[in-house]
Amino acid sequence: MSSLEDYPAGTGRAFPSKFLPPSDSVTPQGLFSGVDADKVPVPLRYVLPRDDGVGLIYTDGACLDNGRANAKAAWGFWHGEGPNGQRLTAEDRLEKKGPYGDDGAQTSNRAELRAVIAALGFRYWPGEGFHKLVFATDSEYVVEGATEWARTWIRENWTRPVGPGGYDRTEVKNRDLWEALLGQIERFKVRGMDVEFWRIPREWNTVADTAAKEAAAAPGEAPAAFRTLRGINV
């Protein structure tokens, strides 16, 4: 279960930024592969060789029959390796309600957002020595929304223009998850940790994608209420 204390709504005090790799051809695994042999954590996290306070997490969302009444959405993230080199992932179905009790549709966009929120809440990341987390995702919606569009949405009270001339306005979709995401980013910011997003090609994100798709295909109903997954030494 979750509470408002777990997911305070973001107010615009802090925003994430985009991660800029040294080249377009470098992959996350090629860049975040260095771990000081004397500092290997259990589990092993992916960090920059030149700064092991910068960590990498892959996230993705999936939705079967997206846009239909019987859609089934789920999220997944890949956060490290176990002692035997196994890839460590976390995944779950997308809940029917958001963190503040709002009804939420089963969509790929919500699942992609939910994956990042789940990953941020999984551990107290500054406690592992991180001053920055980089989220690798193939979702333009998440990357552009978090780093660019949300600034305008907050300034315009979570509305956006629609129709000819843009004189009419409508509420931004998935506001509850955007507010929860920005609230997490603000909370980590005051604890000395920044968040950045790296948009990667879909073919570089197969591990998180597979985790999300397998969770979406699992039998059973989606959870009714928003819930938090805590990682303990995993």
Structural tokens at position 139: 């979702």
Round to whole Å and give the CA distance between 66 and 83.
37
Residues 6+ apart with CB under 8 A from 221: none
Collapsing DSSP states into helix, strand and coil, what is residue 101? coil
Round to whole Å and give the CA distance between 105 and 20.
33
Q: What pLDDT shows up at residue 33?
A: 87
Q: What pLDDT shows up at residue 6?
A: 80
Are the C-beta atoms of 119 and 135 separated by less than 8 Å?
yes
Closest CA to 48 of 163, 129, 139, 169: 129
Name 63's bridge partners: 73
Q: What pLDDT shows up at residue 40?
A: 64
Round to whole Å and give the CA distance between 225 and 35.
38
Give pLDDT tens digits along the chain (234 positions): 555 568 999 999 999 999 999 999 999 999 998 665 566 667 899 999 999 999 999 999 999 999 899 999 999 999 999 988 899 999 999 999 999 999 999 999 999 999 999 999 999 999 999 999 999 999 999 999 999 999 999 999 999 888 776 667 899 999 999 999 999 999 999 999 999 999 999 999 999 999 999 999 999 999 999 999 988 644
Closest CA to 225 of 9, 3, 35, 6: 3
Q: What pLDDT shows up at residue 85?
A: 86
Structural tokens at position 221: 């109903």
Average pLDDT score over the chain? 92
Round to whole Å and give the CA distance between 124 and 31.
24
Q: What pLDDT shows up at residue 203?
A: 98
Q: Which domains does the chain have, with CATH numbers?
A: 17-217 (3.30.420.10)
If you search the block for the tokens 């551990």, which residue do you land on? 123
Q: What pLDDT shows up at residue 167?
A: 67
* Residue pLDDT, tens place only, 135-164: 999 999 999 999 999 999 999 999 988 877
